[in-house]
Amino acid sequence: MRDPLFFRFFFLLGLGLFFLSLELLHLPSLRRSIHFAILSHWVRLLAVTLVIACSCKLVVLPTTPFGLLLATGAGGWFLFESMALWRSIHRFAMHCTPLFPAYTVLADENCWPNVPELRPAQNLLKNSGFTLECIARSDSTGPQLLICLVFRSTDDNSRLFLRLPCPAQPPALPSALVCSGTADGRMLLTENFAGVFAGYYPSNWDVVRRPLCQNLAALLALHGRRQRHCQLVPVGKDPMEQLNGMQRELYETNRSRAFFVCSQKDSRDCLSADAGFRIWMESLLLRYLGRPLA
């Protein structure tokens, strides 16, 4: 008769395979919510850890403590995931396109896609007094073609940027950034960008980034609470000047901090080793905790 431990570990192996199949079934939902993406990575880690630990216990190392095998399985998956991340980062670093491209105005074009998930955000902005100033598109040489909808608050103290992928196949909520200027020369920025940035912000930028806050009303409320402690100044009249000015400031700051290095073959900017490490760190933090690097 088989040892009861055999059936116990066989059950855990099946449980790990079940978690892995459950995670695969949720793949269509991952593109719509960062919460599902975080859950998926934890489920995958648990499934792979159980599969490795149970397989080693049953076949290779039957006398090894199960806790040690669990740690080995988790460490093996972390090493594999890190190697895959480093490979993709290295490939991107060697073919680095402009990370902060300039934007140009799109005239007479409505870029609000007819997607039911975006209608609450559209209605919220109308009810909150934000008016659409212009619609812009990023330079096609950038890493991703983006559409940016620029809104202005009724009190002229805030400007909101909504970034959508182009062609428009957005998630439940586009990436949102709210900015306001203060009398002491600072720039208040509140955003919910869930992708990897890992770069540096200008010293006069006071940035609060909340990737898990995928609710536009909550993001606007957070920015409003930050405004209460500051003396605000009106935003500039030209939204494109502010948008492209912010892109230039980001580029100059990251260039001065050696986030970019000049390629030896041509004059293109490539990511430095420090940038690769920061991207690797932020990728893992976003995958498992939903937190940015800074």
pLDDT in tens, the chain (294 residues): 455 666 566 666 666 666 666 655 555 444 557 888 888 888 888 888 888 888 787 777 778 888 888 898 899 999 999 999 988 888 877 666 678 888 988 765 555 656 666 777 778 888 888 888 888 888 766 556 788 889 999 888 999 999 887 654 444 457 899 999 999 989 999 999 988 898 999 999 999 999 998 889 999 999 999 998 889 998 888 899 999 999 999 999 998 998 887 666 666 777 888 898 999 999 999 999 999 987
Residues 286, 87: Cα–Cα separation, whole Å:
18
Residues 130, 108: Cα–Cα separation, whole Å:
19
Residues 239, 222: Cα–Cα separation, whole Å:
22
Same domain, 55 and 73: yes
Residues 280, 284: Cα–Cα separation, whole Å:
6
281 falls within a domain: no
Q: What residue type is 20 in one-letter code? A: L
Count structural domains, the chain.
Answer: 2
Same domain, 135 and 183: yes
Domain boundary among 94, 124, 157: 94
Secondary structure class of 107 (helix, strand, coil):
coil
Residues 169, 281: Cα–Cα separation, whole Å:
28
Q: In the block, which residue shows the tokens 């009861």?
A: 4
Q: Is 61 exposed, middle or buried (0-12, 13-18, 19+ CB in 10 A)?
A: middle
Name the residue range of residue 66's domain. Answer: 4-94
Q: In the block, which residue shows the tokens 């200027």?
A: 181
Q: In the block, which residue shows the tokens 């080693």?
A: 56
Report how far apart the first and last C-alpha atoms of the chain are (Å, whole number).
57
Same domain, 122 and 71: no
